């Protein structure tokens, strides 16, 4: 999980926005539309990141199609310290 998070955030294009999504979902569940408003991101961008994060078992969803709520997977919750470590590196000079 640690390696995976590093790769998803620091090894791929658009990783920073992925980290922001994880951070938001840690605080409370959101749907894709709310996330795009909250993070000031394009809706399609958010959908793309969500797809990748879901495929990698970082987040889970519940509900139907458009109102689908997303939250962190159990595995991600357990490894949230790892994420915090990466998060602290972001923007540090």
Partner 1 sequence: MIEKILEVASSVGGNGPESGDSGPNDLQNPPGMDYIDLGTYVAIIIGIANICLLLALLSIYLQNYKKIKSKFTMGLLVFASLLLLQNMVTTLFLALNAFFSISSQGLDIGRPQLPLSSVNIIQLIALSILLKITWE
Which residues of the shown chain bind partner 1 in the complex (CB under 8 A)?
6, 9-13, 15-16, 52, 86, 89-93
Report in angstroms how near the CB of residue 15 gets to partner 1 at its nearest.
6
10 and 17 Cβ atoms separated by less than 8 Å: no
CA distance 53 to 85: 18
Q: How far is the CB of 5 from partner 1 (least distance, A)?
A: 10
What is the spatial distance between Cα 47 and Cα 5, in angstroms, rounded to a whole number?
18
Q: How far is the CB of 93 from partner 1 (least distance, A)?
A: 7
Q: For residues 49 and 76, which CB has a smaller minimum distance to partner 1 in the complex?
A: 49
Structure tokens at 25: 């979902």
């Amino acid at each position: 999980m640690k390696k995976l998070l590093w790769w998803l955030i620091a090894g791929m294009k658009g990783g920073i926005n992925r980290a922001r999504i994880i951070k938001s979902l840690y605080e409370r569940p959101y749907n894709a539309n709310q996330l795009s408003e909250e993070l000031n991101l394009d809706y399609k961008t958010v959908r793309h990141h969500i797809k990748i994060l879901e495929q990698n078992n970082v987040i889970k969803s519940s509900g139907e199609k458009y109102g689908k709520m997303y939250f962190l997977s159990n595995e991600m919750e357990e490894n949230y310290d790892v994420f915090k470590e990466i998060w602290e590196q972001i923007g540090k000079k």
